Amino acid sequence: MISLSRFDEALAAARRSLGEKKTAQGYRCLAAALAHLGRDAEAKNAAAKLLEMEPDFLIAEWVARGGHWRSGALIDGLRRAGLPE
């Protein structure tokens, strides 16, 4: 949904997912959606939770591990949320 710029829907889906199970993927989606919606403090909080789960997370390494198919909007959202390159 992020790749379609449907950020409100992506936010709702990420929250549902995280309600079921806390995962790094859920926090990545949450952080990106919140960042695109201009909810910077919440996006940074989601990014911090992701970094608690994956302290060595780097956007470039994540993309290299298979994120090449990820949307540019998702990657841009991760950057806006303050995740390290």
Q: Letter for the amino acid at 50?
A: L
Residue count (the chain) = 85
The verdict on pTM exceeding 0.85 is: yes
Q: For residue range 52-84, what is the model confidence (pLDDT) as tens digits?
A: 999 999 999 998 887 556 688 999 999 999 999
Q: Letter for the amino acid at 60?
A: A
Residue 1 · residue 9 · CB < 8 Å: yes
Token duo for residue 29: 């989606």
Domain residue spans in the chain? Answer: 2-80
Find where tokens 């949320």 sit: 81
Q: For residue range 31-52, what is the model confidence (pLDDT) as tens digits?
A: 999 999 999 999 999 999 999 9
Task: Tell me what the pLDDT averaged over the chain comes to.
Answer: 93
